[in-house]
Structure 1
Amino acid sequence: MLKIRKEEEEDHGKVFDLIEEAFRQMEHSDHQEHFLVEKLRKSEAFIPELSLVAEDDNGEIAGHILFTKITVEGGGQSFPSLALAPVSVKPEYQNKGVGARLILQGHHIAKELGYESVILLGHENYYPRFGYEKTSNFGISFPFEIPEENGMAIELVKDGLKNVHGIVRYPKEFGID
């Protein structure tokens, strides 16, 4: 049985290795996700309660997810949101619901913390099962070119993205200008 819990400092080394392993064979990866997580942990965008691990009965970390603060900038306004990036699952635990458990628990905690939406870049066949829709449906775009179906958002509360239009602004640690 998996337990989802907040990542602790002593988990960092194991999580670093897990993320590297999880993305090693991914073709749509720059293979820098493990370094990104290290940078984000030290950033103002980091929310300790939203860096979660999935732990098995033996205390082995099977997965990790990170949500960080971002904004959507448009019409002279700045709207707070969260980026889901990355979600990582050890290869031997993939396709067993670990990622889903991490995503759903992350949504639950984010909502409790007062966040109203989450934005991500991801696989168009995976994230819609959790309620994610194309960001273009909300009038939200990215500061770089992506296939429209890979930019997605979810409202954690009713109308969480109502009247939110603009461009996603990532923390500098993402390396996106």
Structure 2
Amino acid sequence: MNITIRNEEEKDYRKVEEVTREGFWNHFQPGADEHFLLHNLRKSPDFIKELDFVIEADGEIIGSIIFSTARIIDATGIATEVITFGPLTILPDYQKQGLGRKLIQHAIHIATEMGFKAILIYGDPRFYGRLGFRAAEKYDITTADGYYAIGLLAYVLQPGALQKISGRFEESPVYHQIDQTALEAFDSNFEKKQRCETEFQKEFRILLSLVYKAEQEK
């Protein structure tokens, strides 16, 4: 199997949306909205075109990763730019082969060369911890509403980049603007699939609920 990673091109958009939908269908929730999120992120001013990659197996797109700018806002309101990624997709038939790791590591290499300071994401620490991501609490970084979260993770790209930075992590508003009516209209253009609930979805909801309030400023 010949694996290649390259930047996504406009001609790939529909295929990547199909791959993303397939990769996430019934994973975190019944159905999926990640392909619609991807579609909207590309039109956002936070989208980083240079960090928009697809991974191919023998010339066929089997996954992708998309990055956008985000911010850490300190207690005085000063914002420091960081980056985040998602959706990260690998088709089910190609999962558990190290291809997600390969795609992330490629993106990290380019992001470092571009001079970005750090990556902040919401993800499963059991997976991302193996790639060098650490709890954002280590750097005194909370969710946008001031909570430490088990699933909020940080990866430092430039040495010492987060040593004197703390505050609230805020991603692009696009992540929080999924209109259900617009999603259903968009999704109607794809193959009809059955939605269902899974045990992993319940486990993921528990993971998301593992938050606790940060101590008040002294």
- C-alpha spacing 1:147/1:168, structure 2 compared with 1 (3 Å): closer
Aligned pair 1:64/2:64, yes or no?
A: yes
Equivalent positions of 1:1-177 (< 5 A) are 1-27=2-28, 31-57=32-58, 59-76=59-76, 77-144=78-145, 148-175=149-176
What TM-score, normalized to structure 1? Answer: 0.93
Q: Please tell me the root mean square deviation across aligned C-alpha atoms, in Å.
A: 1.8
| Kept in 2: contact 1:66–1:86 (CA 8 A) | yes
Question: In the TM superposition, what whole-angstrom CA distance separates every residue of 1:155-177 from its partner, at most 9, and x where no partner exists?
Answer: 0121121111111112221126x
TM-aligned CA distance change 1:39 to 1:146, over 3 Å: farther
* Cα distance in 1 between the residues matched to 2:170 and 2:79: 9
Q: d(CA) in 2 for partners of 1:132 and 1:92?
A: 26
- Aligned in 2, Cα 1:144/1:95: closer, same or farther, shift over 3 Å? farther
2: CA distance between counterparts of 1:25 and 1:171? 24
- The count of residues paired between Structure 1 and Structure 2 equals 175
What is the DSSP-based 3-state SS (H/G/I as helix, E as strand, rest coil) of the residue aligned with 2:161? coil
Identity of aligned residues (%): 30
Deviation per residue, 1:51-77 (Å, 9 max, x gap): 1000112x2101100111001111321
**CA–CA distance in structure 1, aligned partners of residues 146 and 35 of structure 2:** 23
Which amino acid counterpart does residue 144 of structure 2 have in structure 1?
A: P
For the residues of structure 2 that align with 1:163 and 1:147, how far apart are their CA atoms?
18
Which 10-residue stretch deviates more, 32-41 or 22-31?
22-31
Query: What amino acid maps onto 1:56 in structure 2?
Result: A
How far apart in 1 are the matches of 2:30 and 2:63? 17
Say if 1:111 and 1:156, in contact at 8 Å, map to a contact too: yes
Partner AA of 1:133 in structure 2: R
Q: Which is greater in Rg?
A: 2
8 Å CA contact 1:138, 1:164 repeated in 2: yes
Aligned letter for 2:153? Answer: M
> Matches of 1:118 and 1:12 in 2, distance apart?
24
Q: Which amino acid aligns with 1:156?
A: L
Q: Which moved more, 1:142-151 or 1:28-37?
A: 142-151
- How far is the alpha carbon of 1:27 from its aligned partner? 3.3
- Post-superposition shift, 1:148? 2.5
Contact between 1:133 and 1:154, CA under 8 Å: does it hold in 2? yes
Counterparts in 2 of 1:116 and 1:16: CA distance versus 1, 3 Å: same
Q: In 2, Cα distance between the equivalents of 1:164 and 1:29? A: 37
Runs ≥4 residues deviating over 4 A: 144-147
* SS at 1:38 equivalent: helix
Unaligned segments of structure 2, at least 5 residues: 178-218
CA distance in 2, matches of 1:129, 1:99: 12
Deviations along 1:85-120, one digit per CA (max 9) or x if unpaired, are 111000111011110111001101111111010011
**What secondary structure, in the 3-state scheme, does the structure 2 residue paired with 1:159 have?**
coil
